[in-house]
Amino acid sequence: MDLPQRKPNRLPDFDYNTPGAYFITICVEGKRCVLASIVGGGAFDAPQTHLTPLGKIAEKHIVSGNRIPNVCVEKYVIMPNHIHLLLTVCEPDFSGPSRAPAPTNAAIPHFVATFKRFCHKEAGEKIFQRSYHDHVIRDQRDYDKIWQYIDNNPLRWKEDCFYEEE
């Protein structure tokens, strides 16, 4: 039996250490709605996410992810079965006394792998699927569009391609 071929989901020959902004989507294994629920949306309140214990673990490790050198979490939203992150990679600061070579791990894959590993360990189970989706943000217009998309994601949950009945 021939297994389906996975298509590559990274830009070929792109250096993910390149300073700039990146839009990352990390999905829950099996699209299970275990991170949050969407509450509100009535006449007087906008929909927003209410984190589950697993969602709180994810949020804790997103926020602590800012400790990874040269990677900054600009914005994020935790949805019921996926997470969107807007990350920036900045130029490494070589002004310090260390002359150690820069790590060979690309910043974005390193961030995602570290985030998943810590979440899985603390949760005591595998939460996220193996891969993730990335989009290299090319200009300010693209950045603003992604920022708005993250802001509006809870509002548009039922139209989201990842929507599953909770």
Residue 109 C-alpha from the chain's centroid: 11
| Yes or no: domain 20-91+104-154 corresponds to CATH 3.30.70.1290 | yes
User: How many angstroms separate the CA atoms of 157 and 38, rounded?
Assistant: 8
Give the pLDDT of residue 92: 65
Residue of higher predicted confidence among 43 and 106? 106
Q: Where are the beta strands (DSSP E) in the chain?
A: 20-27, 36-39, 48-51, 71-78, 82-89, 133-137
- The yes-or-no verdict on residue 143 having pLDDT over 70 is yes
> In this model, does residue 89 exceed pLDDT 80?
yes
| 28-62 per-position pLDDT tens digit | 999 999 999 988 766 667 778 899 999 999 999 99
Answering whether pTM is above 0.85, one says: no
Q: Which residues of 81-111 are buried (b: 16+ CB within 10 A; e: fewer)?
A: bbbbbbbbbeeeeeeeeeeeeeeeebbbebb
Which one-letter amino acid corresponds to residue 29?
E
Q: How is the chain split into domains, by residue range?
A: 20-91+104-154
Mean pLDDT of 126-133: 94
Residue 102 in this model has a pLDDT that exceeds 60: no
Is pLDDT of 91 > 80? no
pLDDT at residue 104 tops 70: no
pLDDT, mean over the chain: 83
